[in-house]
Chain A
């Protein structure tokens, strides 16, 4: 016997009777504030903390050029005399190097801020590429079914048998071999973004495909077919907006994964060069000094990476639980 509260019965009061009294429609933001998502957010201390950390790190990263004491990409600003200084609170610490300097005399705080910015940019672009690719393929596979579906999903299955990092390494390696090391920094960033994009589209495609298969059987899609709309129009205007919920969850968790993948690539040396260090590059270079006592060179980039990834993951977990009606 079902005793679940009829959703309609709990929804806000409705004027009944045939002609409804006019009522001002609420704005998108006001609707968000009244939504279950917002209520769930307010209940979760962890989600609020994670969001605060994420927002803080995003803010720091994207204001790096204005708040960092030094431009770590500009060799002219580096003085070798300032090399290997410990953080400010240590005995030999020197202003203005709050978190110390590395062997080039580069300010670690500035390097972390710029590295954070670069990691986030690559992560966001990587998510954009993998998301776009995955959503498009999932939409097409789910909507048309048949051969298209079989081909897309078998490719996805095959790709899933390889670790994502391996795919990224292969793409990276192939491209480097093809262009023969003649890549400038922007091209390197683009290459990393593409290899991340190609490594992570499968999850989007699978999720979107199964949602699309549910949605396309619904009568509103049939109604759209009845008025003679073409399949691409129906997919984009009707189906796509209704399958985005789970995509947001994947995108959030994937952002963390993409950042880690970029850090791993850079750590392995196939990512960004030392002249334009991301968090991964910083950790790789700092790693060398760990045993000679200059721990700050690796510890602060490492902490920034860990904090960022943890915060984004917690946010993603909460979002997944909040959007999953079965867990409520």
Chain B
């Protein structure tokens, strides 16, 4: 496996408040490879957006990175001075936000904004940049781009605006795109268009995408791998198909069961009691244990570390997280836990090639 584009190791983010330092992100590790879409899913307060902001270095105060490291193409970016980081953003990391209206300046023609981005980050001439901008608009499926390039954002419909934002994110040919709820503000029929576009572009350009959303349906259709977050930690990470069809972490199991789908009839939905703990009251041990149907003694005291659940044995000497493994942070899957009950997933845990992830 080649070097990942984005590599996040043991990332920790805290919010400094009057009530003390609150752990918003607590030891999150993941990789995104070239051309790969990693879906980051979780309920509000799980820390998915904060993770995205930390990666692009746009954490709003009082949020602050307090530990771990973020590498982009092997280079450490979480310690870069703000001025250098500003150049990395835009040039090497593109961004797509939820509301396309807020990411486009209403006073400038869309073409001006794209050309400006291109010229800031490349040494193309004004004319070449404009040609490139038209190409980009055509690529994101805007009809008659040579005419529309001189339109103002308000002249575009919601879906078209989000396409412009995608063109803008792609303008400098970044290695990584962070998309935070890119389809949430759009109507259902337009959502599908945007997802399809994002998928195609990322394949063609080999861009790594971190797709942050609360919508499991969007993840299922767009992402290659998915990280399910809970209380600032990754509960489970793995290929979409495996996590959706055969979730292992009891939270992921509950979450998948709670989502109504079109194909399933109108039976009762699975229900996780309670709600995600607030940052001020994250329980000791596993953060999910008060709501977990499979809780046992150890969960209440011992924080579970990610455990590899994929069959491929980790190569010695390489970082196990970099070979896009499946991992679940749950004591049920720890072969050493003697007193655990049967795990949530179908197979018995001994069938997994379980091996603790090294998290430094």
Residues of A within 8 A of B (CB): 1-6, 8-14, 16-18, 39
Q: Using A14-B281, A17-B273, A18-B273 as known contacts, say yes or no to A5 and B63 having CB atoms under 8 A apart.
A: yes
Alpha-carbon gap, A318 to B139, bound state (A):
53
For residue A12, which residue of chain B has the nearest CB?
Answer: B280
Q: Which residues on A sit within 8 Å (CB–CB) of B165?
A: none
Q: Using A6-B45, A13-B280 as known contacts, say yes or no to A1 and B178 having CB atoms under 8 A apart.
A: yes
- Tell me whether A3 and B60 are in contact (CB under 8 A): yes
Alpha-carbon gap, A18 to B19, bound state (A):
26
- Tell me whether B274 and A16 are in contact (CB under 8 A): yes
Among B18, B58, B277, B281, chain A packs the most CB atoms within 10 A around the CB of B281
Q: Which residues on B sit within 8 Å (CB–CB) of A3?
A: 49-50, 53, 58-60, 63
Per DSSP, chain A at the interface is loop
Contact with A along B194-227 (1 / 0, CB 8 A): 0000000000000000001000000000000000
Does B95 belong to the interface (CB within 8 Å)? yes
CB distance from B218 to the nearest CB of A (A): 17
Alpha-carbon gap, A6 to B22, bound state (A):
12
CB distance from A8 to the nearest CB of B (A): 7
Q: Using A6-B45, A16-B275, A18-B273 as known contacts, say yes or no to A1 and B280 having CB atoms under 8 A apart.
A: no
Q: Which residues on B sit within 8 Å (CB–CB) of A2?
A: 49, 53, 60, 180
Q: List 24 A-B contacts (CB under 8 A).
A: A1-B53, A1-B56, A1-B95, A1-B97, A2-B49, A2-B53, A2-B60, A3-B50, A5-B15, A5-B22, A5-B24, A8-B44, A10-B17, A12-B278, A12-B280, A13-B281, A14-B281, A16-B274, A16-B275, A16-B276, A16-B277, A17-B274, A17-B291, A18-B273
CB distance from A98 to the nearest CB of B (A): 45
- Tell me whether B45 and A9 are in contact (CB under 8 A): yes
Q: Which residues on B sit within 8 Å (CB–CB) of A5?
A: 15, 17, 22, 24, 62-63, 279
Closest 4 CB pairs of A and B: A13-B281, A16-B274, A3-B53, A17-B274
Q: Which residues on A sit within 8 Å (CB–CB) of B53?
A: 1-3
Q: Which residues on A sit within 8 Å (CB–CB) of B274?
A: 16-18
Does B100 belong to the interface (CB within 8 Å)? no
For residue B276, which residue of chain A has the nearest CB?
Answer: A16
Alpha-carbon gap, A223 to B49, bound state (A):
33
Alpha-carbon gap, A6 to B231, bound state (A):
12
Does B52 belong to the interface (CB within 8 Å)? yes
Q: Which residues on B sit within 8 Å (CB–CB) of A11?
A: 278, 280
Contact with A along B247-267 (1 / 0, CB 8 A): 000000000000000000000
Alpha-carbon gap, A11 to B15, bound state (A):
13
Does B290 belong to the interface (CB within 8 Å)? yes
Q: Using A2-B49, A6-B45 as known contacts, say yes or no to A13 and B278 having CB atoms under 8 A apart.
A: yes
CB distance from B311 to the nearest CB of A (A): 36
For residue A2, which residue of chain B has the nearest CB?
Answer: B49
- B residues 31-78 in Cβ contact with A at 8 Å: 44-45, 49-50, 52-53, 56, 58-60, 62-63
Q: Which residues on A sit within 8 Å (CB–CB) of B212?
A: 1
Q: Which residues on B sit within 8 Å (CB–CB) of A14?
A: 278, 281
Q: Which residues on B sit within 8 Å (CB–CB) of A12?
A: 278, 280
* Choice from A10, A17, A39 contacting B279 with Cβ under 8 Å: A10
CB distance from B85 to the nearest CB of A (A): 14
- Tell me whether A1 and B17 are in contact (CB under 8 A): no
Alpha-carbon gap, A17 to B274, bound state (A):
3
- Tell me whether A8 and B45 are in contact (CB under 8 A): yes
Alpha-carbon gap, A85 to B185, bound state (A):
77
